[in-house]
Amino acid sequence: MPSSLDWTQLSFILILIVSFVLLITELLRNDLVAVLIIVALALTGVLEPSEALAGFGSEPAIIVASIFVMTGAFQRTGLADAIDTWIGRFAGRGYIAGSWW
């Protein structure tokens, strides 16, 4: 490593490498890895705590979180299975059967 890198740069590179390893090997769930990345960046001083938490208030983040909640509810209530069955009947048995063109 070049000696011109300071502590925050080295810690960022280490967090990046560990994140890639965790995401590729899937040792932990991806959402948990994402939260751990934010926590690690805040604890090492790469990001200020206000910067680390700023993304959670953005509209796209709230929409994505809402989609995860709705998907979980669809799974628990059985609605996802009902939609799956309906799509399966619509599509038929072949790959081309469900296409509209």
Q: What was the pLDDT predicted at 100? A: 54
Same domain assignment for residues 48 and 86: no
Number of domains forming the structure of the chain: 2
The rounded distance, in Å, linking the Cα atoms of 40 and 62 is 22
The domain of 87 spans 58-91
| 22 touches 28 (CB < 8 A) | yes
Same domain, 50 and 66: no
* Whole-structure pTM value: 0.60
The answer to whether residues 36 and 46 touch, using CB atoms and an 8 Å cutoff, is no
Decide: 81 and 89 in contact? Cβ < 8 Å. no
In the predicted model, is pLDDT for residue 2 greater than 70?
Answer: no
Does the pLDDT value for residue 83 go beyond 60? yes
Question: Which helix (DSSP H) or strand (DSSP E) does residue 98 occupy?
Answer: none
Q: Is the pLDDT of residue 60 over 70?
A: yes
Computed over every residue of the chain, the mean pLDDT equals 86
- Whether residues 32 and 10 fall in one domain: yes
pLDDT-derived band at 89 (thresholds 50, 70, 90) equals: confident
DSSP tag of 44: T
